[in-house]
Structure 1
Amino acid sequence: MPDETVRSASYTVSCEDYVHVVEFSPFDCGTCRFKEEDTEIEDVEFTNLQVFSHGVRVDAIAWSPETRLDKLPPVIRFCTTAADRKIRLWTSIFKTIVMEGHTNYINHLVFEPAEGKEIASVSDDHTCRVWDLDGCTFQCELSMGYICLIQLMVAEKKGTIRFYDLVTQHAILSLDSGHVPLMSADWCLTNTIKVGAVVANDWVIWDITRSSYPLEKRPGHVDKARHFRWSRANENLFATTGYPGKINSQLLVHHLGHPQPVIIGSASVGAGLSWHRTLPLCVIGGYRKLFFWMTEL
Structure 2
Amino acid sequence: MPDETVRSASYTVSCEDYVHVVEFSPFDCGSPASLLAYGGNQYVVVGTCRFKEEDTEVEDVEFTSLQVFLHGVRVDAIAWSPETRLDKLPLVIRFCTAAADRKVRLWTSDLQNNCDVKVMEGHTSYINHLVFEPAEGKQIASVSDDHTCRVWNLDGNETISFRLRSPGVSVCWHPEDICKLMVAEKKGTIRFYDRVTQHAILSLDSGQVPLMSADWCLTNTIKVGAVVANDWVIWDITRSSYPLEKRPAHVDKARHFRWSRANENLFATTGYPGKINSQLLVHHLGHPQPVMIGSASVGAGLSWHRTLPLCVIGGDRKLFFWMTEM
User: Do they fold alike, i.e. is TM over 0.5?
Assistant: yes
Residues 139-179 of structure 1 deviation map (CA, whole Å, 9 limit, x = unaligned): xxxxxxxx99xx10000000000000000100000000000
Is 1:222 aligned to residue 239 of structure 2?
Answer: no
Q: What is the DSSP-based 3-state SS (H/G/I as helix, E as strand, rest coil) of the residue aligned with 2:295? A: strand
Is 1:98 aligned to residue 119 of structure 2?
Answer: yes
* Alignment match of 1:280 (pick from 303, 309, 317): 309
In the alignment, is the contact (CA less than 8 A) between 2:96 and 2:106 conserved in 1?
yes
> Per-residue deviation at 1:31?
2.7
| TM-score normalised by structure 1 residue count | 0.92
Q: What is the DSSP-based 3-state SS (H/G/I as helix, E as strand, rest coil) of the residue aligned with 2:16? A: strand
In the alignment, is the contact (CA less than 8 A) between 2:279 and 2:297 conserved in 1?
no
Residues 194-218 of structure 1 deviation map (CA, whole Å, 9 limit, x = unaligned): 0000000000000000000000000
When structure 1 is superposed on structure 2, of 219-228 and 239-248 the one drifting more is 239-248
- Matched positions, count: 281
In the alignment, is the contact (CA less than 8 A) between 2:189 and 2:206 conserved in 1?
yes
> Per-residue deviation at 1:46?
2.3
State how far apart, in whole Å, the 1-side matches of 2:50 and 2:16 are. 21
> Per-residue deviation at 1:266?
3.4
In the alignment, is the contact (CA less than 8 A) between 2:128 and 2:144 conserved in 1?
yes
In the alignment, is the contact (CA less than 8 A) between 1:249 and 1:266 conserved in 2?
no
State how far apart, in whole Å, the 2-side matches of 1:248 and 1:119 are. 35
Relative to structure 1, the CA distance from residue 178 to residue 248 in structure 2 (aligned partners, 3 Å threshold; closer, same or farther) is closer
Is 1:213 aligned to residue 234 of structure 2?
Answer: no
In the alignment, is the contact (CA less than 8 A) between 2:271 and 2:298 conserved in 1?
no
Is 1:20 aligned to residue 20 of structure 2?
Answer: yes
State how far apart, in whole Å, the 2-side matches of 1:2 and 1:175 are. 39
State how far apart, in whole Å, the 2-side matches of 1:242 and 1:2 are. 22
Is 1:32 aligned to residue 53 of structure 2?
Answer: no
Relative to structure 1, the CA distance from residue 266 to residue 249 in structure 2 (aligned partners, 3 Å threshold; closer, same or farther) is farther
In the alignment, is the contact (CA less than 8 A) between 2:279 and 2:293 conserved in 1?
yes
- Corresponding position of 2:186: 157
State how far apart, in whole Å, the 1-side matches of 2:2 and 2:89 are. 51
Relative to structure 1, the CA distance from residue 292 to residue 23 in structure 2 (aligned partners, 3 Å threshold; closer, same or farther) is same
Relative to structure 1, the CA distance from residue 217 to residue 238 in structure 2 (aligned partners, 3 Å threshold; closer, same or farther) is same
- Corresponding position of 1:46: 63
Q: What is the DSSP-based 3-state SS (H/G/I as helix, E as strand, rest coil) of the residue aligned with 1:196? A: strand
In the alignment, is the contact (CA less than 8 A) between 1:159 and 1:177 conserved in 2?
yes
> Per-residue deviation at 1:104?
0.3
In the alignment, is the contact (CA less than 8 A) between 1:61 and 1:81 conserved in 2?
yes
Q: What is the DSSP-based 3-state SS (H/G/I as helix, E as strand, rest coil) of the residue aligned with 1:249? A: coil
Q: What is the DSSP-based 3-state SS (H/G/I as helix, E as strand, rest coil) of the residue aligned with 1:47? A: strand
Q: What is the DSSP-based 3-state SS (H/G/I as helix, E as strand, rest coil) of the residue aligned with 2:135? A: coil
In the alignment, is the contact (CA less than 8 A) between 1:248 and 1:270 conserved in 2?
no
Relative to structure 1, the CA distance from residue 2 to residue 161 in structure 2 (aligned partners, 3 Å threshold; closer, same or farther) is farther
In the alignment, is the contact (CA less than 8 A) between 1:269 and 1:287 conserved in 2?
no
Residues 42-91 of structure 1 deviation map (CA, whole Å, 9 limit, x = unaligned): 01112211110001000000000000011111100000000000000000
Relative to structure 1, the CA distance from residue 177 to residue 247 in structure 2 (aligned partners, 3 Å threshold; closer, same or farther) is closer
> Per-residue deviation at 1:21?
0.2
Residues 23-57 of structure 1 deviation map (CA, whole Å, 9 limit, x = unaligned): 00112349311100111110111221111000100
> Per-residue deviation at 1:12?
0.4
State how far apart, in whole Å, the 2-side matches of 1:169 and 1:119 are. 15
In the alignment, is the contact (CA less than 8 A) between 1:186 and 1:196 conserved in 2?
yes
State how far apart, in whole Å, the 2-side matches of 1:44 and 1:207 are. 36
The unaligned stretches of length 5 or more in structure 2 are 30-46, 110-116, 157-177
Stretches (4+) displaced over 3 A: none
State how far apart, in whole Å, the 1-side matches of 2:92 and 2:63 are. 17
In the alignment, is the contact (CA less than 8 A) between 2:49 and 2:64 conserved in 1?
yes
In the alignment, is the contact (CA less than 8 A) between 2:14 and 2:317 conserved in 1?
yes
Q: What is the DSSP-based 3-state SS (H/G/I as helix, E as strand, rest coil) of the residue aligned with 1:42? A: coil
The unaligned stretches of length 5 or more in structure 1 are 136-146
> Per-residue deviation at 1:281?
0.1
> Per-residue deviation at 1:249?
3.0
In the alignment, is the contact (CA less than 8 A) between 1:248 and 1:267 conserved in 2?
no
State how far apart, in whole Å, the 2-side matches of 1:129 and 1:245 are. 30
State how far apart, in whole Å, the 1-side matches of 2:312 and 2:295 are. 11
When structure 1 is superposed on structure 2, of 46-55 and 83-92 the one drifting more is 46-55
Q: What is the DSSP-based 3-state SS (H/G/I as helix, E as strand, rest coil) of the residue aligned with 1:101? A: coil
Relative to structure 1, the CA distance from residue 269 to residue 208 in structure 2 (aligned partners, 3 Å threshold; closer, same or farther) is closer
Residues 249-279 of structure 1 deviation map (CA, whole Å, 9 limit, x = unaligned): 3000000111100100133451100000000
State how far apart, in whole Å, the 2-side matches of 1:99 and 1:44 are. 35
In the alignment, is the contact (CA less than 8 A) between 1:247 and 1:269 conserved in 2?
no
RMSD of aligned C-alpha atoms? 1.7
Residues 222-271 of structure 1 deviation map (CA, whole Å, 9 limit, x = unaligned): 01000000000000000000001225630000001111001001334511
State how far apart, in whole Å, the 2-side matches of 1:266 and 1:129 are. 37
Q: How does 1:56-75 map to 2 (within 5 A)?
A: 56-75=73-92
> Per-residue deviation at 1:103?
0.4
